[in-house]
Amino acid sequence: MFRVDRLSLLCLPLFAALLSVPATCQSASTAPAPELHVFDPSLIDKSVDPCDNFYRFACNGWFQRNPLPPDQIAYGRFTELFELNRLHLKQILEQAAVPSPTRTANEQKIGDEYASCMDVDAINRAGLTPLQPELDRIAALKSAAELPAEIGHLQTIGVNAFFGMGSNPDFADANSVISFYGAGGLGLPERDYYTRTDAKSVEQRKQYVDHVARMFVLAGEPESQARADADTVLAIETRLAKASLTITEQRDPQNLNHPTDLASFTRTLTHFSLANYVAATHAPDSGKMNDMEPKFFAEFNALLGDTPLDQIKIYLRWHLLHAFAGTSLPTAFDEESWHFYSHVLNGAEKQEERWKRCTSRVDREMGEALGQVYVSRYFPPEAKQRALEMTLAIEQAMGRDIESLDWMSPETKAKAMEKLHAVMNKIGYPDKWRDYSKLEIVRGDALGNEERSSQFEFARDLAKIGKPVDKSEWMMSPPTVNAYYDPQQNNVNFPAGYFQPPFFSDKEDDAANYGDMGSTIGHELTHGFDDQGRQFDKDGNLKDWWTKQDEQRFDERADCEVKQYDAIEAVPGVHLNGKLTLGENIADLGGLWIAWLAWLDKAEAAHLDMSAKTDGYTPDQRFWIAYAQQWCTQTRPEQLRTQAETDPHAPDEYRANTVLQDLPEFAKSFSCKKSDKMVVAKPCRVW
């Protein structure tokens, strides 16, 4: 659960299961490009000097060919592949949706869930009726003493009520799974949206209150009542937000490590019966638990003590409506939710087609049932073999890089090498598929299916408490175009969906594949040694293995990157946050560097003629171009602002240019001069 993802498009924050993600990340769009390549000379704009703006040089052709579709907040090469995968998933789902006695149990579930989601007429006809039992439960609450059980129940059906609770390996003992309690309960993307005082943020809060009010009106409240209730929601969420850590503070696992136990945690929650909450959620007691943010839970407790029950009910009603607005409630709710989260916050002009959202929904709910079919059709064993070979080559290159560092002591190097050698590589899909037999999917019951899917996932997650960690488990579904490193398991995970053009191709040469997919493999490996990952040892325990002097030298190097990214103005008035993006920036630079080293080895072993040009470029130039072309992305200014404020990844333009500016080897390949923009006086380098 404590992990780092590579891409922003798919929006997977740390502790994603604990901090329920607001629907701000709708992506993807129209028909995918006909043929995709890793290195694509037709995307290059020769009128741009590669030493002036390499991103523009490598991507302008792509930009010209790919105007931003109206239903997109950003559209790039990741989206191209994401869309292609989604089209494949749609075909699988449409087949599975045809009732037939020969369907397998999994096909019945994914097919009927897809059909239920697609049946907008039935959803509109039903109105709020399917949600009425839940609305009635909240309305019937008679005293604050009943809240713990109700909050627990709402969380099991996927409602972001006040906080998050889930299983996670103990920071001190990565082999033992305990319960983690984390801050949550917000409707805006993250806590600073409630505290910033600039004009744009003030306006966004006003628009948020308007949105909440309109949702209440749709649920049957008179206008004036709805407005007052929306103000109540904002007031409660603002208190929660102010007591929460910033997203930058959350990056340091030490800030999130506060071991406690049921008795001690119970004593701090004087207005909230933890016993009743635990009974409602059926959370096993593993003895130890983690109160990730004590300040937040103190404020939550105080809030329950001094807020009238009627106001708490309003807050819960809002989060209930919000949780199901996407694809389970009538169109009016769906459109209202899209309007605020995708249009107002991120600039989308049109809503995605229904089939796309329903496909993504089934992937989210039953990703391994869908993924099993996907893998059998679209992930050949040869792709897995080549991916594994690349991963091993890049691991070896990283080992040689660590050995050659001039700033690290032999003592720390030995520990780093131990950790590197202990990294486990997971490629494609799980060895053992998830069992969905206990999940009931009823055709025609979209809302009930969504509730039961959340309950199934909640129970599956909690069942891990008190058991040894299952390192074979995956946090991403096989069709996902993304990858992650898990610091508590010390493993890298590359889903099958990623190993396709434009990121990887069996038909293209090593320069293209190492520049692109190789840099991603390097990126994930380097996460084990970024500002966050380096705090975990080879077994995944949060344990310092650095000498003081090496730690200081690491921090000095990291600080160079913090300053470099702090200086970038993403949209007028909004700079990138160098500390928030540090881990990703370290991984980008280190990952590309070790992919380069690994590729040089391959080239040398193959006696590659480094001066021979293909499509007009030498092999080393092709390596850098393939790297930059993976980042070709069009982004709306609204989304760019949201990204700068919330995303640990820098926008794609800088993931290309800023990283390359730090590598003199790149400048050498294109004969760039000191005075050129792609050359900086003092390049940063950690790994």
Residues that bind Zn ion (CB under 5 A): 4, 6, 584, 587
| CB closer to Zn ion out of 16 and 228 | 16
Query: Least Å distance between CB 485 and Zn ion?
Result: 7
As to burial, measured by CB atoms within 10 angstroms (0-12 exposed, 13-18 middle, 19+ buried), residue 288 is middle
| CB closer to Zn ion out of 6 and 641 | 6
With beta carbons less than 8 A apart as the criterion, state whether 119 and 112 touch.
no
CA separation for the pair 119, 112 (Å, rounded) = 11
What residue type is assigned to position 26 of the chain? Q
With beta carbons less than 8 A apart as the criterion, state whether 670 and 618 touch.
no
Q: How far apart are the first and last CA of the chain?
A: 25
What residue type is assigned to position 351 of the chain? Q
CA separation for the pair 134, 130 (Å, rounded) = 9
| CB closer to Zn ion out of 244 and 482 | 482
- Token reading at 72: 């997109």
| CB closer to Zn ion out of 244 and 585 | 585
Query: Least Å distance between CB 651 and Zn ion?
Result: 14
**Helical residues (DSSP H) of 606-663, grouped into ranges:** 619-629, 637-646, 652-661
Strand spans (E) along 496-545 = none
The β-bridge relationship of strands 569-571 and 574-575 is antiparallel
Query: Least Å distance between CB 530 and Zn ion?
Result: 8
Query: Least Å distance between CB 14 and Zn ion?
Result: 11
Query: Least Å distance between CB 588 and Zn ion?
Result: 8
| CB closer to Zn ion out of 185 and 253 | 253
| CB closer to Zn ion out of 5 and 170 | 5
Query: Least Å distance between CB 77 and Zn ion?
Result: 17
CA 180 to chain centre: 19
CA distances from 302 to 161, 162, 416, 454, 599 (A): 16, 13, 45, 29, 57
| CB closer to Zn ion out of 584 and 647 | 584
CA separation for the pair 347, 333 (Å, rounded) = 19
Query: Least Å distance between CB 527 and Zn ion?
Result: 6
Query: Least Å distance between CB 584 and Zn ion?
Result: 5
Query: Least Å distance between CB 483 and Zn ion?
Result: 8
CA distances from 69 to 2, 338, 351 (A): 34, 16, 11
| CB closer to Zn ion out of 14 and 587 | 587
Q: ∠ at Cα 544 (540, 547), nearest 5°?
A: 140
Cβ-proximal residue to Zn ion, closest one: 6
What residue type is assigned to position 100 of the chain? S
Query: Least Å distance between CB 367 and Zn ion?
Result: 20
Query: Least Å distance between CB 487 and Zn ion?
Result: 11
Query: Least Å distance between CB 560 and Zn ion?
Result: 19
Nearest to 672 by CA among 619, 621, 601: 621
| CB closer to Zn ion out of 167 and 482 | 482
| CB closer to Zn ion out of 356 and 534 | 534
**Helical residues (DSSP H) of 342-473, grouped into ranges:** 354-378, 381-404, 410-422, 446-462
With beta carbons less than 8 A apart as the criterion, state whether 2 and 488 touch.
yes
Q: ∠ at Cα 620 (6, 388), nearest 5°?
A: 45
| CB closer to Zn ion out of 69 and 253 | 253
CA separation for the pair 84, 554 (Å, rounded) = 41
With beta carbons less than 8 A apart as the criterion, state whether 327 and 335 touch.
no
What is the tally of helices (H) and strands (E) in the chain? 26, 12
| CB closer to Zn ion out of 452 and 534 | 534
Query: Least Å distance between CB 102 and Zn ion?
Result: 42
| CB closer to Zn ion out of 229 and 652 | 652
With beta carbons less than 8 A apart as the criterion, state whether 556 and 407 touch.
no
Interacting residues of 271 by C-beta distance below 8 A, sequence separation 6+: 144, 301, 302, 304, 305
